[in-house]
Chain A
Amino acid sequence: MFHQMHEFGVTENIVNIALAKAGEAQASKVIQINIVIGEMAGFVPDCIQFYFDSLSKDTIAQGAVLHFELVPAQLRCRNCSTIFHPQDTLWSCPKCQGQSVEIFQGRELYIESMEVE
């Protein structure tokens, strides 16, 4: 038994999606996978790359570069609808100082595109 971070399962999904899409495109090699990841998504890019290197071994995705595009966190004030980037751990609205906020963006995790040969 070894300890595993939750990025492991996520990376398995990335490899599966990449291989399926490369197969559909009749590609012989995956060069780069472009992943969009929210600033607040609970996943560490370096950890995903680490698992990817071992999970993609002996597949056409071996050696592929994972490119992460970070989506900044944006919150929306439930009181005045102002959208803002959280400045610190206190999520208060810069306009009305309201403390009731929801996440507008920043939890994304998807494969946007791939470069293949």
Chain B
Amino acid sequence: MKKIEVIQNILEANETIANQNQQLLDKHKVFAINIMSAPGAGKTSLILQTLKRLKSKLNMAVIEGDVASTVDAEKVQSETKAVVQINTRNMPESCSLMAAMIEPALKDLPLDNIELLLIENVGNLICPSEFTLGEHKRVVISSLPEGDDKPIKYPLIFIDADVVIINKMDLLPYVDFDIAAFRRSIAGLNPKAEVFQLSCKTSEGIERWCSWVLEQVETNATKL
């Protein structure tokens, strides 16, 4: 028996494919956002609001990572033709999207005609934190009914986020969610994260989010 030294990152395979995905996106000047949250926090609603508000300004596409249905893709189809549903590809249902699942999805999208790609990850605050997909920005949504302790309970996903969105602000009078405490937790874990407070239902705060998205897409396009 002999011992051989290996020292190899096990996640490297995912990171390699993620880098290739990003190169492909950059080549076609597509800006990609990975949207993560617990189930029901409002990923699909945020995508629908973004598509509605920005469709006159940007060409957009959506990748839906739902594990076992096409309901989200069907909703999104009313706003954009360019939708790819991951779970229709004979892939086993997974608790998170991974870079290798995005790679074939990108082949199905008319990348030359797209400026913004919204990727809806699987509803989960644990697993998606370990996998990059090739996105330019990572967005995590927390909604008021979930409680203000989510950054403390699931720190990794918040540590790696570029943006944290507090959704369902219209429910503030009815739930015990301490906005200041939540924002303090985020500031402690990830001082660079931008925080948006909004409601996909009433559209409060959506304008500001959409301006940020538009600015990111434009900045990225000039860099390439």
Which A residues contact B (CB, under 8 angstroms)?
Answer: 1-6, 8-10, 13-14, 16-17, 21-22, 25, 27, 31, 35, 40-43, 78, 89-91, 98-103, 107, 109-117
Contacts and interface: CB of A to CB of B under 8 A. Distances in A.
B93 interface: yes
Contacts, number: 115
B4 A113 contact: yes
A109 B10 contact: yes
Contacts of B153: 89
Give chain B's interface secondary structure class.
Answer: mixed
What 8 pairs across the A-B complex have the smallest Cβ distances? A99-B188, A4-B92, A111-B6, A6-B127, A100-B188, A13-B13, A3-B93, A110-B9
Give chain A's interface secondary structure class.
Answer: mixed
19 contacts: A3-B93, A6-B94, A9-B14, A14-B10, A25-B4, A27-B2, A41-B130, A42-B126, A42-B130, A99-B185, A101-B189, A109-B11, A110-B7, A111-B10, A112-B7, A113-B3, A113-B7, A114-B3, A116-B4
B95 A5 contact: yes
Interface size class of B (residues with CB under 8 A): 35 or more
B93 A1 contact: yes
B187 A100 contact: yes
B109 interface: no
Given A17-B10, A91-B155, A111-B7, A6 B1 contact: no
A6 to B, nearest CB: 4
Interface of B: 1-14, 67-68, 92-96, 98, 100, 126-127, 129-131, 152-153, 155-156, 159, 184-185, 187-189, 191
Nearest to A43: B130
A117 B155 CA distance: 42
Given A3-B67, A99-B184, A9 B98 contact: yes
Contacts of B188: 91, 98-101
Nearest to B87: A1
Contacts of B12: 13
